[in-house]
């Protein structure tokens, strides 16, 4: 299993969480409230967490390509919603150690 954790600083985290979740809900199953969202992307699940200073994304997929696709979809959509500001994303990817 492959995992990613991403962060982006913004003063509008709660607003963007709502926009992302409502938008993604047109295509995939989504559950969300004021501070968290659970998105079931075709490549794997992703939790989105809004805090006072930004958003955190915690995703997983069966392969590295799925992680790359998930990150691309998130960045593409969030950049469009947040066009008034320049966002600086920080991602950390890792894979489960399945070696015996």
- Per-residue burial over 50-80, b if 16 or more Cβ lie within 10 Å, else e, is beeebbbbebbbeeeebbebbbebbbeebee
Stronger pLDDT, 97 or 74, i.e. the higher one: 74
Q: What is the dihedral of CA 59, 61, 67, 71, to 10 degrees?
A: -40
User: CA nearest 59: which of 45, 40, 69, 49?
Assistant: 45
Percent of the chain with pLDDT over 70: 96
Q: What is the mean pLDDT of residues 23-42?
A: 98
Alpha helix locations (H) across 4-88? 13-24, 64-81
Tens digits of residue pLDDT in 37-94 = 999 999 999 999 999 999 999 999 999 999 999 999 999 999 999 999 999 999 999 9
Domains of the chain plus CATH, in order, are 2-83 (3.30.310.50)
The secondary structure of residue 81, as a DSSP letter, is H
pTM of the model: 0.93
């Amino acid at each position: 299993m492959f995992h990613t954790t991403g962060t982006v600083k913004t003063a509008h985290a709660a607003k963007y969480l709502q926009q992302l979740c409502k938008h993604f809900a047109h295509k995939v199953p989504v559950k969300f409230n004021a501070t968290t969202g659970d998105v079931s992307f075709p490549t794997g699940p992703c939790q989105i967490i809004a805090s006072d200073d930004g958003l955190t994304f915690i995703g997983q997929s069966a392969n590295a390509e799925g992680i790359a696709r998930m990150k691309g979809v998130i960045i593409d959509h969030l950049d469009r919603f947040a066009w008034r500001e320049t966002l600086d994303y920080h991602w950390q990817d890792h894979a489960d150690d399945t070696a015996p």
